[in-house]
Structures are given as C-alpha cells and as structure tokens.
Amino acid sequence: MKMLPDLSQLTHEQLLEFTRQLALQHQQLAEDKQQLDAKVQHLEVSNKQLDAQVQPLSILNQKYEHELALFKQHKFGSKNEHLTAKQIHLWDEAVEEDIAAVDLELERLNADKTNAAAQKAPANKPKRRLLPDHLYTIRIEHEPVSTQCACGCTLRRIGEDISEKLNFRPAQFYKEQHIRGKWVCDQCDTLTQQAMPAYVIEKGIASPELLSHVLVSKYADHLPLYRQRQIFLRAGVDLSRSTLSDWIGRCGVELERLTDALRKVILQQAVIHADETPVTIMRMDDKDKKPKKGYVWAYATTQYNPIQAVIYDFQDSRSGEHAEAFLKDWQGHLVCDDYSGYKARFRSGQVIEVGCMAHARRKFHELHVTKKSQVAEQALVLIQKLYAIEAELRKKTDGTAQHRREYRQQHS
C-alpha cells in the first residue's frame, strides 16, 4: 500500500499536485464503481433470464417424471385395470355357473334323505323372480284322466296350482309369398294388378324385419356377419357374407336420411357434448393389409335434455377439421375435453368451451396415484362432493335448468 506523504513537509505547489492526484483517483474510483454497478445490474438481468429459462425446463422435467411414473405404473404396477367391467362379468358368470352346478349335485346327493331339515332349502338361496306379465302365455291344462273316484263318487274341482316355466321359441325363417292377381277387362283388355309394397331393397329377398335383425345383431349384439351366417346355416338358410355385407351397405345408404335429420336436431340444441374415440379398421383396397386407426366422433345432447340423441361421425383421422365441418355455423356451449381439435371453433367466438369434469379429475387421479400428491387428493375429495350433488340433481326429474343452477350455486 502506498504511504501517504507528510503534508507538513510539502510546499504549496506540492500540496496542489497532491490534491489534484487525489481528485483524479477519486474520479477513477467513481468510474470503476459505476462500471461495477453496471456489471452487477447486467448479471441480475442475466440471472432473471436464466430463471425464466429454467422454470419451463423444471416444469417440463416434472411432466416427464410424471409420465415416467405413469409408464412404470402401467407396465410394472397392478394389472387389474387391464380387464374392463364387461370382461370381469365373464368371471362372475363362470363362478355363478360353478355354484349352480355344485348346488345341483348337493340336491341330488340329499334327495334320498328323509330328514325334513335336509330337504329344506338353504336360507341363502336366492328368491326366484316372477316372470314378466307382458310375455305371451300358453295355458297347458293337466287334469286327471277320469273324474270318477274309486269309491264311485264324482270328483269335484276345488282349485288349482299354477307353475310357470319360461320357454323359448328360437327365431325362425319363413317365406312370404306375395301373390298379385292379374285382372283384365274382357271388353277393352285393360289389365289391372296391385303394385308391390315398397321395400328397403327393391327386388331383394330380404324383408325389413330380416334387415333389422341383421343390423341389430351386428351393431348392438356385436355379432360379425360370418357368425350370423353360421347361425343362419343351422336354420337351413345359406346367406353368404357378401350378401349380408351388401344388405348392410344398402341399409346404410337408406338410413342417411335419418342421420341427416338427427344431425339437424342435435345442431338445434344450445348445449352439445362431444368426444372422439379411436377404432381399428381394415381397408379392403389397402395392399398393406395392416389395421389402420380411425376415429368415431360422438355428438350428444345433455342428460337433462328431453331429446336424448347422439350421432356418430366416423372419420379416418383425429384432425380438428372434422369437428370444424360438423359444427360449422353452430353456436352454443360445447362440453368436451381439452383436445386441440375443437379450439378452432372456440377461436371463432361462436362456440363457448365447457370443460369436462371427468377429464379434469383423471389428471388429479393420475397425479395422486403416481406421486401421492396431497393437493391432488384434496381435489379428488372436492370433485367427489360435486359428483354427489349431481347425483342428487339426477333424482329430481321435475327440475328445470334454473332450479338446477340454483341448487348448484347453493350446495357447491
């Protein structure tokens, strides 16, 4: 460190020079401080910029960790969710069949016992349901061959016991012969003949009832056409798959009028539910012969709407242009998930987005399962309470939209 001179020994000129040097040093220190302040400010700005860059990366990292946890849960966790509710019912049916078989064997083993307690039905045996009253009833009388008593008197009927059996008459084919008589006038040779009634497939052999049966079996009962053909063969009727396919296609064309009318009805509603689901399809003209993924777009009215309607719009992709085309010029509230395919309609200002609570709950459930998040658990509890309120509203069949709104505002 530079030693300061003894000021008492300095001359007047030396003091002036020393003062000038001190002023220069002070000015230099001030400039250095200003530069340091500028550097500190620059570092603070850079630090904020780095924080802004790190924050989305941190969120993205948490997202990846969450997705990785979901993947591990799906791959290595419990596999009970791999069975749908309908598939689980198959196991229930198998168990019930086994129980019924065991009960029958026990009844046969106990049939020779004379003990009344052994003959008594088990206390937990389910009570048999009464047969529905709307079923067609055939009365079969079982009377004695002779009403003459062994003592010589005539028997008198004092009552009857009725036992009901549920019978089944398999579906059967029968031929309809439409006979149209030809009538001619002998004087002017005018020929008169009644025209045939209109049919879905003109000059075809299928009646509307048969076409309805094939359609319901395929789309409601999930019976492919080749299985229906096997069932028909057991009845002695050979209908090829190509014939059945042709019927399905022609019915689809004829039903387009109903589809168009149904679409108009749905687009007249102020609130519509929308969702899309993938389906596996096979293209007959595709040389690759590999299954492709298509999408069924569903549009439905609300559960409180007096018109309960839903229309399915099949498309070969999940592009938002399909929703744009279906909902073109429609204005109202659209209930859907957060899929971006619907965003174009929302940006137009004609459609108001209404979020789906079930999809929102799913994210909280996944977060709770993978990370045991307390916030997610609290959200699930609150959503469960909202579901309970909606369950109470569904019981009030005579309520109006305003009443439901007031009930939600009061209890939610």
Note the Cα 316 to chain centre separation in Å. Answer: 19
Q: What DSSP string runs through 32-73?
A: HHHHHHHHHHHHHHHHHHHHHHHHHHHHHHHHHHHHHHHHHH
Digit-coded pLDDT (tens) for 181-210: 999 999 998 999 999 888 999 889 999 999
Q: What does DSSP say about strands 310-315 and 292-300: parallel, antiparallel, or unpaired? A: antiparallel
pLDDT above 70 covers a percentage of the chain that reads 81
pLDDT band at 332 (very low <50, low <70, confident <90, very high): very high
The reported pLDDT for the residue numbered 14 is 76
172: its two tokens = 């059967």
CA distance 381 to 377: 6
Digit-coded pLDDT (tens) for 90-111: 545 555 655 666 666 667 666 6
The reported pLDDT for the residue numbered 239 is 95
pLDDT above 90 covers a percentage of the chain that reads 41
**Burial per residue of 149-185, b for 16 or more beta-carbon CB atoms within 10 angstroms, e otherwise:** eeeeeeeeeeeeeeeeeeeeeeeeeeeeeeeeeeeee
Reduced 3-state DSSP string for 340-373 = HHHHHHHHCCCEEEEECHHHHHHHHHHHHHHHCC
CA distance 21 to 10: 14
The reported pLDDT for the residue numbered 4 is 66
Digit-coded pLDDT (tens) for 25-42: 888 888 888 888 888 888
**Whether 215 contacts 228, CB under 8 Å:** no
Note the Cα 189 to chain centre separation in Å. Answer: 65
Reply yes or no on whether the pLDDT at 115 is more than 60.
no
The reported pLDDT for the residue numbered 112 is 54
Q: In the predicted model, what is the mean pLDDT of residues 41-69?
A: 78
Q: What is the pTM of this model?
A: 0.62
**Whether 252 contacts 260, CB under 8 Å:** no
**Whether 278 contacts 293, CB under 8 Å:** yes
The reported pLDDT for the residue numbered 81 is 44
| Average pLDDT over the chain, rounded to an integer | 84
Digit-coded pLDDT (tens) for 220-247: 999 999 999 999 999 999 999 999 999 9
* CA distances (Å), origin 54, targets 63, 174, 356, 406: 14, 77, 32, 45
CA distance 343 to 350: 11
The reported pLDDT for the residue numbered 193 is 93
